[in-house]
Structures are given as C-alpha cells and as structure tokens.
Structure 1
Amino acid sequence: MGEVFAGRYELVDPLGEGGAGVVWRVWDQREDCYLAAKVLRQVDAASLLRFIREQAVRIEHPHVLAPLGWAGEDDRVLFTMPIMRGGSVATLVGDFGPLPPRLTAMLLDQLLVALDRIHGQGVIHRDVKPANLLLDATGRELPHLRLSDFGVAAAIDEPRLTHGPVTLGTQGYLAPECHQPGWEPDPRADLYAAGMSALEMVTGQRPAVTRPLEALEGADVPEDLAQVIRWLGEFDPDRRTATAALAREQLAATGLLAGAAAEVLGEIEVFDQVPELPEGWMPDGPSHALPGATARHAHPAAQASTSHETTRAQPSPVKDRRGLGVALLLLLAGAVALLLAAYLTWG
C-alpha cells in the first residue's frame, strides 16, 4: 500500500498543507487506527525547535489537541494526533461567513476553557487563531472545539530561546505588546488573540492589524458580546481582561451560552471535512486483498519519499552524513523534549 514511515505509520493520503509541512492521514500499524500526522518539510534548527515544542506539550483536556507521539526516519520527522473531522473555525467562517452570536459565544467559551487549562499548566500558546481551532464533525449538534498547534508555545517565565527582532505568531491576532523589544510571554497575549478570533467569527473578516475593533461598529452583534470582545481586544494589556476564567464569567453574563443546538447553530452545520478513504483502504485499515496495490496520491512529499526509498541500494556518502546528523539531532530533540515536557508539567 502506502509508504511506511519509521516502521509504523503507513501514509494514506494528504489532508492538508501548511508552512511547516504536510498533514497526512496515516494508518498506525501498532494501534490499528487512523491518525493525522504532520510531516515536517525539512529538518533544520528552526523546524526542530518548533517540532520539539509542539510534541513536548502533553496537556490532556477535551478542548486541547496535543500530539500523541512522534517518530523520525532519515531526514524527516513527524508527530501524530487525532483526526479532527470538522475542519477549523477558519473553515467554518469561510463556508458560512459571519457566525451566529450564540455559536460565536459557545466557540469562544470553549477556547477560553482551553486557555484556562494551558495557562494553569504554565504554557502560553502564542498562535491562537481560527485556523488553529479545530472542530469535531458534529453536524447539526452542538459544536466541540479543540485548540491545536503548539509549535511556538512557551512556558511562562522560561528563559527566552530567541532574542532580537523575531516576532512569533500571526499578524491580526498578535497582541500589540508582542512587537515590543524584551516582551516576555504572557497569558494576556493569548486572550487578545482569542478576542480577535471571536471578532473574525462575528464579522466574517480577518481582523485588521490596526484598529480591528472598529469592525464591530455596524455589525449585527449583541452589545453584551461585542463588549466581551472589546475587553479581550484592548491594546493596552493592563486594561485587557486579565484571565481566561474572568473572560468566561463575562461571557456567561451575556446569556448567550444557553440554548438548544438549533438555536445556537442557526443555519450552520459543521460538516465532515475529511475526504473518503482512497481505493484500497477500509475503515478498519488497508485492504491487502487488492493485488498490485501501490502508494496512492502522487503528492510531492510522497514522490520525494518514494524516490528516496528506491535509491537506498546506492547510498550517498553526503546523504549518509546528513542522515547521521539528523539522527543525532533527533536524539538531542528527544532528550530536550523530555526535559521540556517535564518542565511544562511540573513547573
């Protein structure tokens, strides 16, 4: 069937693509289940640092999507996570435009629950945005959100790993203070990003870098909800809502969190965004009864992998050295990941 990565994960088909790599649906041969796996595009110092940070987060919570495990092979690494079939909040807004106020309030509340948990564990996410808010495919039932992508997460008060004019995060959701020299990770930056994510939900538009809250003027948004978003979106962190727990209290006071599914969703439906399994794959795994089965989908990443596999009989000294170097980097990454995970867990 497909290429087997690290002797365990069989690549089935690509589900998405981002700046850091390709997300594949894989068959876990050890656990006999399908998972999502992010395969990094390249292994260098920056991508390994992001990889270490993301796979080191081990926060178990219904609204947090943390990696399940990782593997390395030759010059590539991947980490696995559950498949979230409903796409992201960004997908939902792209499909339907502005979301109903009750749905926005419920999604914001679930995001705040996730932030309350990770902040309580001493972790700052630093890249909260609708694209990182993943959804179960709940259809016409109440939605279920999980915060994902901890690649630039940092522990509160940890020593900074980068200095100088390097700003991590995504424009439009990045709190203004993050641009200031010497800024240290603070939970209030995540709360600003949560407010900007809610702003995008109710307006259907990505927040402007300057004066984003002006988008609320004239929008069909209940004033109580608009005020919660304004408090979260304060440019001055000292005037911004201080904690996720406080923001949840303010949101609950709007009365928008109650209601049956039909009242919350309006005309919205959270569709199953994951494509059907390709030929030769069944819900319970690969169908080995098909003769001559080969890797499906000639995706560039898969093509590169297949080409790499066919040349192993004629090893290149340069590649051998690179593979050894990556192996050493991965050993170092594993050691650092264990230390970082222990630090994030126990403080």
Structure 2
Amino acid sequence: MQLSKRYRLIEPLGEGGMGVVWRAYDELLDRTVAIKEVRYAGVGEAKRAELNRRTIREARAAGRLDHPSVVVVHDVVEEDGRPWIVMQLVRSRSLAQVVREQGPLRPAQAALIGGRVLDALRAAHATGVLHRDVKPENVLLADDGRVVLTDFGIASLEAEVGLTASGGLVGTPAYMPPERLNGEQARPESDLWSLGATLYAAVEGEPPFKRESWAATMAAVLRDEPEPPARAGALTPVIMGLLRRDPGARMPAEEAARLLHEAAINAPGDPRQATAAQDPRQATATRDPRQAVTGEDPRQTATGATGLPTSDGQAYPTAGEPRTTARQRPRRGKTLWITLPAVAVAAALGTGGTLLYTNRTAPTPSPTPTPSTGTTSPAPTPARTVPAGWRTFTSPAGRFSIAMPAGWQATKSPTRDSISIKGPDSPGTMKVEWTTPEVRWKRPEQAWFALEKEIRAKGEFQDYTRIGITPVRYRGRAAADWEFTRMRGGQLIHVINRGFHTADGRPFALYWETTESRWDQDRHYFDKFARTFRPL
C-alpha cells in the first residue's frame, strides 16, 4: 500500500489500542520511516471525523518540537478516512522492554533517563504541547545513546477518547494522574505525575498502583497513597514529590530536574558501574566512552526493536506493547548505554573520569506553577531576541512592548483596550488586549472556559469548534492557550488566544488569527510575537 503517492508501507511493527505502527519507505527522500496509522473505534462518523482533524492538528503541533529527546514527526497525511503520522524511525528498545528483560534499573541509571524525559517535557510544555501518556512503553532507549520520548500529539488524542464502545479504558491507568481519571483537563503537572510513576516502575519493576485489574488500578490511583519505593535510593524524594495527588502540591519541574541531576552524578561506588543493570555479572570495566551508563561494550550490543523484533533489526516509536501480569526474572541481554555530545563530555569530565549525566536543559525552560494559587518558583527571565527584520513597538497605553515584522502596523482600538498588528505578508492579525475581566480567575484556563460558555450560549461564533484549552507556561507564569476555529464571512478562521497575568497582576491576552488555509504557514508569527512580548 502507498500513502500520499510517496510512502510505501512495508510491514507492521507493532499494534496498540489506537492504531498500528508500520515500517515504511519514503520514496521522495529515499529513507525508511515509521508511520502510525491512527484508528478510532467505537465512535460515530461525526466524532471520528472531528478526532481525525484534531489528531492531525496535534501531530502537526508536535512536529514543531525540536528537541533531541523527542521523536521527530516528519509529516501528517489523511487517507482512507484515517490520519497517518510519519515519524523518525528510531533504532531502540523501550524502557518497559529493558526492565522486563534485565530487571529494575539502578537509581542513577533511572535518574539519567528521567532527566532526559523531563528535559523533553519541559521543552514541550514551554511551547504549549502536553504529552498525556508518559509511560515506560513511550520512553525509547535508542541504540545511538539517546533517550527519546515518543507519541507526542498522538497520545493526547488517544487519551481524550476515554472509553471505547466496549467500555475499555484507552491508555494505561497505572500511569494516569488522578485528575485525569477524575475527568479533569490535562496540565503540565499531569505529565509530571506520569513521569514519577514511570521512574517508580524503572527502579521497582512495576508502577506504584498496579493491581489485579484496570478497575482496581484506577481505584488505587484515586484513593491510595503510593507505597514508598524500596530500591529508589536518592530517587525517592523526587518520585514521591511527583506522585503527590494534588497537582498544586506536586514537585515543580525545575526542582525535579535538580534532584534527578544530583541522583545521577552522586551515585555511590564506582561510577562506571553505578548505572549498570541489576545483574552484577553485567558490570564490567568501561572500555569505550559511550559506555557511560552500562559497563558493557556497545559494539557487542545487538540492534533490536521496541518490544517486537523486525526482520532488519530496526526499531520504531512504540504503539503500545503487550503487558505482562508478572515481572519476569532479570536475564542477561542487551544493556542500556547512553551517549552525549563530545563537547558535553569534555566539559563534564575535565581531566578524566566517567560521565554519568549532563543536564541538557530545554531552551528557555519555565518553572511549573502551583495551579491553585498561580504562584511560581523563581526562575530567570530569558533575554529577548528580536527576529531579523523585525522592530520593537511600544504601547504606552497598554504598558508593554512587542516586536513586529517590517512593514506591519499597530493600530489602537477606539473602543477596546487592545492594539491590532497587521501586515502585507499574511491575512493574519495579531491582537494584544489588556482589558480587565469582570470576574477574577486563579487559573487562566478558567477564564477561557467561562468565555467559551458565554459565547456558546449567545451563539456568537458560527460553526465554532474548540481545538483545545490548554494550561501552558509563559514567561515563568501560568497561562492558557485557547485554540479554536469558526466561520466568519464565509471563511474558516483559525485562532489561538493566550491568556495570563503579569507579575504585577495585569491580565493580558495575546490573540492570533488567520485563515485555516494559512494556519500552518503563518503559525510562526504567533510564536515570534509571544516570544518578544514584554510588559512594562
């Protein structure tokens, strides 16, 4: 079968609850890729069409992520009434497979892996992308030494479907935070909870709330406190901090990153063996700098797939692996190894020694808020860089500055506390509004839900479709992005509206709209406007 007259499907690599991952060949660029065929079963045609549209949009959003620990999304196509997500093919095994085959990891090894996953999550959260399905099956330990998080933009829609027609829960409840199981909106803290459960499983061999059935597992997540891990060592504080039931009391991302870094570099004993597999027979002398966390020669490490071997030994972003009911006995097999860039190795090692971890922080990371209070932990504000060809505009009335492209003009609204920025290069409009709302809100997403309810009740937007109301981090503070489409003047308009309070309590909204046909082409304008906005 061929997709989009370009991608030739070769063989299925794995199948999960929501689709099939194929090994495929990109005939245009002459490369092998992984393609996820997304299937929504048990829903009506109208709902399936809506889910398909949103899957494509979220996958495209994930495709904008540029981070070494995020699987690259190359393309998104729709064929035969289904979305097909074209991704980088990663030669790897999943963390779940490694734990099944070799037993629980040492704390320092799990800390290194957790640090990389957290790094990817922070980079995604900074751009408003949530994962919603962090679990060992979605953490790939690549044969080239990387730790890669897969299923961004895909897992989010799968999880949203919730229950299938047969009543089965989509996803793995053992790694879902209690607020998700209670039907609340996902938020960055939800991904952090799932990371805590993943780290717990990495060092203990199974997640903290695993029970005999899915229903019992769900009940345990909602009701029970996690049993403190027995093998976690220095990882115990970060695991328990991430598994706090109240999202507002959950350990912030920056504190978790610091503790993971310390747990990785301060492991007791020989650092060359501190992160080897549990079987002491696998802890041999380090012979290659790439063996930083294994003690086994990577040249002797066979290439394999994520859960399901393939004829050519290639691996792929996981589509959900078979689950076992009992932990398998650790056995000798392929050992994990993780590489780092040569510059990072030199900086960390100095005159010699073995590198265990480098804290490769995501670009301009933001701290995690306490949603119930809106407070944040201190973090430096990144310096503003005005894009080439842009200039800075200052609004005395709004007490802010923002950069805009050459040739674009800013106009103050005569009736509202807002300015509009338009230009010749796009049909889009950027609006900055600082109108004080009538109702105070603690969480920015509350304002959008309230406004959406009012607009729906009044029927003010024709053919309105919500794409998402998502909590995000912006300039070190809690914010929320409201993305939707609606018809206006016979055209489908696509909007993203970011709401937040400044440090001194002033409410702002950064609103970008353009035609749906130009959305992908023009989305970068919003990113640049938001990056250069500064309150005065």
TM-score, structure 1 length as denominator?
0.69
Distance 1:15 1:234 in 2: 36
Q: Secondary structure at the match of 2:236?
A: helix
Which residue pairs with 1:41 in the alignment?
39
Q: Name the amino acid aligned to 1:72.
A: E
Residues 1:19 and 2:28 aligned together: no
Structure with the bigger RCO (C-alpha within 8 Å, sep 6+) is 1
Work out whether 1:7 is the aligned partner of 2:5: yes
- Give 1 or 2 for the bigger CA radius of gyration: 2
Q: How many residues align?
A: 277
Counterpart CA distance in 1 for 2:518 and 2:137 is: 25
Matched, 1:252 2:252: no
Q: Which has the higher helix share?
A: 1
CA–CA distance in 1 between the matches of 2:26 and 2:35?
10
| Residue in structure 2 matched with residue 214 of structure 1 by the alignment | 227
Q: CA deviation at 1:215?
A: 5.3
The equivalent position to 1:226 in structure 2, one of 208, 212, 236, is 236
C-alpha contact (below 8 Å) 1:101/1:256 kept by paired residues:
no
Determine the structure 1 residue equivalent to 2:89. Answer: 83
User: Is the CA contact 1:86–1:271 (under 8 Å) kept in the aligned structure 2?
Assistant: no
CA contact (8 A) 1:22 1:38 kept: yes
Aligned mates of 1:144, 1:238 — CA distance in 2 = 31
Aligned-pair CA distance for 1:263: 3.7
1:52-103 deviations in Å (ceiling 9; x for gaps): 3223322010011141102233334311111122121111112122112111
2:173 is aligned to 171
Structure-2 change in CA distance of 1:11 and 1:122 (3 Å): same
**What secondary structure sits across from 1:68 in the alignment?**
strand
Q: Given that residues 161 and 170 in structure 2 are in contact (C-alpha distance below 8 angstroms), is that contact kept between their aligned partners in structure 1?
A: no
- CA distance in 2 between counterparts of 1:163 and 1:197 reads 21
- Flag the 1:200–1:212 CA change in 2: closer, same or farther, 3 A: farther
Structure 2 alignment gaps of length 5 or more: 210-216, 283-293, 315-491, 495-514, 531-536
Quote the residue 2:423 is aligned against.
Answer: none
Query: Where does structure 1 lack aligned partners over 5 or more consecutive residues?
Result: 155-160, 284-331
Mapped contact 2:192–2:242 kept (Cα < 8 A)? yes
TM-superposed CA distance for 1:169, in Å, is 5.5
Looking at structure 2, the residues matched to 194 and 344 of structure 1 have their Cα atoms a distance apart, in angstroms, of 32
Q: Output one character per residue of 1:253-303: Cα deviation in whole Å (capped at 9) or x when no partner.
A: 33547786654233367752232339xxxx9xxxxxxxxxxxxxxxxxxxx
* Structure-2 residue corresponding to 1:56: 61
Change in 2 beyond 3 A, CA 1:51/1:18: farther
Instruction: Determine the C-alpha separation between the residues in 1 that align with 2:238 and 2:518.
Output: 37
Moved more, 251-260 or 227-236: 251-260
TM-score by length of 2: 0.46
Q: How far apart, CA to CA, are the structure 1 residues paired with 2:68 and 2:16?
A: 25
Alignment of 1:225-304 (within 5 A): 225-242=235-252, 244-256=253-265, 262-266=273-277, 267=282, 272-274=303-305, 275-277=310-312
Please give the alpha-carbon distance, in whole angstroms, between the structure 2 residues aligned to 1:263 and 1:345. Answer: 46
From the two aligned structures, give the one with the greater strand fraction.
Answer: 2
User: Shift in Å at residue 245 of structure 1?
Assistant: 2.1
- For residue 232 of structure 1, report the CA deviation from its aligned partner: 0.9
* Residue in structure 1 matched with residue 467 of structure 2 by the alignment: none
Contact 2:35 2:85 survives alignment (8 Å)? yes
Residue 190 of structure 1, CA deviation: 0.8
